[in-house]
Chains A and B, each alone.
Chain A
Amino acid sequence: MFLNMKLLAHHSLNGFGGMGEGMSMQLAKDGRRILWLAHESAPKNFTAVDVTDPRAPKVVVQTDLPHAQMRSNSLEVAGDLMAVAYQVTKFGLKPAGFELFDISEPERPRSVSFFDASGPHSRGCHQLWFVDGKTVHMACADPELKPRNPKDDQIYRIVDVSSPARPRAIGRWHLPGTMEGDDAPPPQRLPANFDAGFRAHNTNVYPQRPERCYLGYIDGGIMVLDISEPSRPKLVSRWSNSPPYHGFNHTVLPLFERGLLLVSDESVRDNGADWPKLVWILDARDERHLVSISTLPLPPVDAFKGRGGRYGAHNLHENPPVPGAWKSETVVLGTFFNGGVRAYDISDPYSPREIAYFVPPAPEGSKIGAVQINDVFVDDRGIVFTVDRHAGGLYALEMNV
């Protein structure tokens, strides 16, 4: 299934093609383009793929996790330094936090340090943002805090890694009312079948506005935070679509030149059970007053919900402010599980148009009989890289729009 996208190459990553939501490109000193990928689940930690020739991707290294009750899920590369998130399946397990690697030799990643966030109420780090080589912004539990509800464990944390061997926590923020000792009352939870938690997900910070964090907060909506004083982040504004929608706000992508925010939900239920899960466009000209003006048009749910697995929004290409990444404020790309990877023209933000998509066939080894496209990264050559959540591995695509 395709429109204006052509498959250049598909790599099943040596049979470990279940990929998470960490995709980051290293422009290696020897001229190679190395795409670093986090795995969805054990046994693999991360895989590096040489995509210099996108028609012939080559695995250069693939690493293992220390045990099966954890996952890496998220990673980011800044120069020759890579941060990898570690989340455990049960509270109290280790390692929970993130690890920094020196990847100056892509074939031989070398551990530089580990930031420990383990604790009796911690599952560690689910997602991190690391683009300046100095600061990790992440969704991670803080062992100093005890959530009132265990689903609310991961908060927004800021870690200074300007001395990579000695990561140092410098700030944190959580939704008031979610932790023991908070003055605020606990938040009103979504109905039990949609209650995913009030916790942080994506934690985007851009050089265009370094004093702002754009934070997805699962069932809590999205937050714009003032982080001009990292030790004391302050809430600027909050926007939520749930209820009546079904929560799980995932990513906030600011388009600074246009005064817009893109907000993705995440579909977390199979067969369209939590539909609609959408990408929302917000008018953010006044950052204190966010207004929803449209959503990206998706094919009708009845055509996809029966194909297997999830159908609906998830990750966006986040215009990462790093060399080698494609940046656009008019064309945005997202992943939609069995709806594939899709590109939209948002020149008119009130009337976004679907301009390209690619939905691979069910990958070999898929237990659900359908692809589950999980994440997307576009490089500055316009090559679209996307991954399957369960088995398919990496797809390299050419987009013609």
Chain B
Amino acid sequence: MIPDGRTPVFVVTGFLGSGKTTLLNRIIGSPGFVDSLVVVNEFGEVPVDHHLLESSEERTVALPNGCLCCHLRGDLEETLIGAAMRRRRGEIAGFDRVIVETSGLADPGPVAQTLFADQALARDFKLGPIVTVVDAADRENRASGAEVARAQIAAADVVVLSKSDLADRLDAVTEEVKSVNAGALCVPARYGDVDPAILLQPTRKSGPAPVFSSTAAHAGGMASFVLRFPAPVSKALLERFLSVLVELRGADLLRVKGIVALDNGEHVVVQGVRHVFDRLRPVSRAPQTGLVFITRHVGEREVDALWQAISSLKGSP
């Protein structure tokens, strides 16, 4: 048994008007999400009395459905560390997960980076699923901010195709998503009617649910591929490989995740967004191993070549 008592932080993102607030309300209203702490950026996003939220000295209020809600003040680190401290002191009831809704124009990458890089935060919290809401009915909307929209899709574990009932060509939107992030789970939705169990499943185990689609695809210079290791690898070698890769092309590593078998018998989770990677965390043995890359302007061949070069060097640790 490899315990991991950290609280998962779900990230709900999506372009302006994509329907993420509808999805958020749907999620926190479902029984499986009782005991969530919802961190909102803007008032009006969840069914809470705004005046109560603003005037509350506790800075956290209980929602009718058993969730807690707090307004993001200062930065995310401060909000989450404060919530964990108050939970431990018994000043608030408790929560099993955090749901952070990013603003419509935000790239979710920095939220993930914050969770990996901030040691105080990483003691109590871990990155949960990133859920990106994509408006299936209005592709033009995303075109106004194509770079951010693609980054949101690239970062996703789950892509919710909202307003699917209004979409002329759902298959085309699905293809658009898959061309950026072949590994993400695509779920069509109307008014946020997603089965919340899909979101809860990956948090049962340490780390993300590995998704090993080997479909390589390209859109706007982006690529998605899987790097597999034929044999267990040295932890030090893996760390060195990731370190060099980040040093050379960190800005283009939109998301890296997966499970790697080490030569000491352990399996570890690898999680990274751009320049920041979580430390390698042991997990229970997984039937499939490998690293999923979603990159920009760097392809499978280059990454594999780097691994081959590093792993074949004699004297490597």
**Which A residues form the contact surface with B (CB < 8 A)?**
1-4, 299-300, 303-304, 307, 328, 330-331, 343, 345, 347, 353-356, 359, 400-401
Contacts and interface: CB of A to CB of B under 8 A. Distances in A.
A331 B1 contact: yes
B89 A355 contact: no
Q: What DSSP secondary structure best describes chain A's contact surface?
A: mixed
A323 B88 CA distance: 34
Contact of B5 (A1, A300, A355): A355
Contacts of A355: 3-6
Interface string B4-17: 11110000000000
Contacts of A354: 5, 88
Interface residues of B, number: 18
Interface string B265-306: 000000000000000000000000000000000000000000
Given A4-B96, A353-B123, A401 B90 contact: no
Interface of B: 1-7, 35, 87-91, 93-94, 96, 123, 204
Contacts of A303: 88-91
Contacts of B88: 3, 299, 303, 354
A303 B6 CA distance: 22
A300 B3 contact: no
Interface centre among B2, B5, B93 (most CB of A within 10 A): B5
B4 A299 contact: no
B3 A345 contact: yes
A328 B1 contact: yes
B153 to A, nearest CB: 30
Given A307-B90, A355-B3, 11 more contacts: A1-B93, A2-B35, A3-B87, A4-B5, A300-B89, A303-B91, A328-B1, A345-B3, A355-B6, A400-B204, A401-B5
Contacts of A304: 90
Contacts of B2: 330, 347
B123 A1 contact: no
Contacts of B89: 299-300, 303
Contacts of A300: 89
A397 to B, nearest CB: 13
A373 to B, nearest CB: 13
Contact of B1 (A1, A330, A356, A400): A330
B80 to A, nearest CB: 14
A328 B3 CA distance: 11
A256 B292 CA distance: 40
A303 B88 CA distance: 9
A331 B35 CA distance: 24
A299 B90 contact: yes
26 contacts: A1-B90, A2-B35, A2-B94, A3-B5, A3-B88, A4-B5, A4-B96, A299-B90, A300-B89, A303-B88, A303-B89, A303-B91, A304-B90, A307-B90, A328-B1, A330-B3, A343-B3, A343-B5, A345-B5, A353-B5, A354-B88, A355-B4, A355-B6, A359-B90, A401-B3, A401-B4
Contacts of B5: 3-4, 343, 345, 353-356, 401
